[in-house]
Chains A and B, each alone.
Chain A
Amino acid sequence: MQTIEFSCPIIDRESINDQTVVLTLEAPVIAQTAYPGQFVNLASNQFLRRPIGIMNADSKKGSIQLGIRVSGEGTRFLAGQKKGDIVSLLGPLGRGFHLEGARRVITVGGGTGVFPLYFVQKVCQTRGLEGIAVCGYKSRKDSLLTDQYEALTCQTLFASETDDDMDFSGHAVAALADLLLKLKPVPETMILTCGPETMMASVAALAKKHGISCQVSLEERMACGIGVCLVCACKIKQGDEQESEYQRCCTEGPVFNAEVVEWQI
């Protein structure tokens, strides 16, 4: 039998800003098997668990990292956990990003979407793939993980919608458009994106225009996270002739090929 539920001690807690923390948890089994784009489902003081994308996994240390932004009572509780506290989590869950066959990997993250994509760039570094990380924030004070991204071998492009003192002034999608015009094309390029749905839809459209394959990490309200309750349905295209069908964001996703996603915006 496979163990799905783990009680994991928090071994480090770093405050990123007043709304966001990065928790490092001792989770050797999950650290061993998790790959970018997967998530864990954390118990809090609320009834349902909270699905959180895995930001980093270190199989040697047996630890994982999770970026948590406070958006309600459950995440407030989780973000308030201290070193030594134990949280129950299910994982690793879902289908993540597929990097097979890639030579260059461009990640486009919006807001907390930069967390799971950090894991992508970390793996790219390990595998010796060319990585380019586009990270978009509302403003400089909302920026997340800039130091951590800069410590990786990937090229970084930080975009702020309201400040002029980051790499790019404007939206992450505009930053990507600008980048794609300047970059010398490399075959086997992939664009991977995570963030608000409007942003991901625009990134997908831009990727298509440039003939670059694109994977998106969808978000739906979840309950079980393991594929039995069917609440996290997302509309997936089944080919030109057929109607779209609902698939489980937690099981068939959360990462899908952008081509098959029927955007809900």
Chain B
Amino acid sequence: MADLTVRVGNVQFANPVIAASGTFGFGREMRVFQDLSRIGGICSKGLTLLPRAGNATPRVAETASGMLNSVGLQNPGLQSFLANELSFMAALGCRIIINIAGNDHEEYLEMCRQLDATSIDAIELNLSCPNVREGCMLIGSNPQMIEKLVAAARQVTRKPLWAKLTPNVTSIADMARAAESGGADAVVLINTLLGMAIDRKLRRPLLRNNTGGLSGPAIKPIALRMVAETYRAIGIPIVGVGGIMDGNDVLEFMIAGAAAVEIGTASLVRPTACQDIIREIETIMELDGVSEVSQYTGTLALWNG
């Protein structure tokens, strides 16, 4: 029997498959189709301190091997989440990570304070949403601001802190180092790449927000390269994300250096992607003769010279 357990810092997961923020809601819709106690964890839809309506539509555009979205963090706000969703999520039987996005430094801290008293397993600091004007990517593309925010969050909560990083920077490894210096328990990479789609006849962007975040298999090579680069730059665990569609993709991310992974866009075209991928990992491990999935992590041998 293959051992699928992995650790991200102090948190143990039954397997390396975590549902990515914004592609799984709070688990309610997905629970109808699959046993969520079997997946490693769920990362919640990004929460803000106050409710957010999100951006105008159209919010989606299909691209070659992927999609652009500009949802803009539509969510019911932290209070409503704590009152109406948290106990539901906590009872699902897998690890629960809460993704939070602030308009400013203080909003992140306020949310960390409020989540500190709950039963959640980790907080994912969203330093990377490309579809909002404040916070998020603005903080996440400045190493000083990342370090300052993570360090301040560290002071207000004992929960493991994961920093979800944006690829829309010159060096994501620098951002990961800043998160590590601030005291992050793990970094999550990558969020979506900022992109655009154009309607030639109208000479207008397809998205009402003009730009959006690119996800799906189109971004997998970029995400793999960034995980491999970051693995060599920091000592804390990496949660890999970006275009993972199957079990083989998961193991590629782990070889590049990821301790665990998040599955996002795959769930939008195949609602049972997470549970299917776990089975695929088991099959591949048997073929590879690997008994513990964590043995894949960081085993990439780069070509020299």
Contacts and interface: CB of A to CB of B under 8 A. Distances in A.
Interface in B6-27: 22-25
A245 B29 CA distance: 20
A90 interface: yes
Contact of B216 (A47, A222, A229, A245): A47
A228 B53 contact: no
List the 6 closest A-B pairs by CB distance, nearest first: A231-B60, A224-B268, A231-B59, A228-B25, A227-B29, A4-B33
Contacts of B270: 5
Given A90-B271, A229-B22, A229-B23, A47 B54 contact: no
B33 A2 contact: yes
Contacts of B267: 224, 228
Nearest to B59: A231
B232 to A, nearest CB: 32
A251 B32 CA distance: 14
A220 B69 contact: no
Interface residues of B, number: 35
Contacts of A46: 62
Given A233-B59, A245-B53, 7 more contacts: A4-B271, A47-B217, A221-B60, A228-B268, A231-B71, A232-B60, A234-B57
Interface in A223-257: 223-224, 226-234, 245-246, 251
Contact of A48 (B34, B45, B58, B67): B67
A229 B271 contact: no
A1 interface: yes
A3 B33 contact: yes
A230 B30 contact: no
B29 A223 contact: no
A69 B255 CA distance: 45
Nearest to B31: A1
A223 B60 contact: yes
B48 to A, nearest CB: 14
Interface string B52-83: 01100111111111110101001000000000
Contacts of B202: none
Interface string B261-283: 00000011111100000000000
A246 B60 contact: no
Contacts of A228: 23-25, 29-30, 267-268
A90 B269 CA distance: 9
Name the residue among A3, A230, A245 with the largest chain B CB count within 10 angstroms. A230
28 contacts: A1-B34, A1-B35, A4-B272, A47-B66, A47-B67, A47-B216, A47-B217, A48-B269, A220-B58, A221-B57, A221-B58, A221-B61, A223-B60, A224-B23, A227-B25, A228-B268, A230-B45, A230-B74, A231-B57, A231-B58, A231-B59, A231-B60, A231-B69, A232-B59, A232-B60, A234-B57, A245-B53, A246-B74
Interface in B226-283: 267-272
- What's the dominant secondary structure at chain A's contact region? loop
A47 B23 contact: no
A55 interface: no
Contact of B32 (A2, A47, A232, A233): A2
Contacts of A220: 57-58
B74 A223 contact: no
Contacts of B53: 245-246
Contacts of B45: 230
A223 B45 CA distance: 16
Given A1-B35, A227-B29, A231-B69, A49 B269 contact: yes
Contacts of A3: 33
A71 to B, nearest CB: 13
Contacts of A204: none
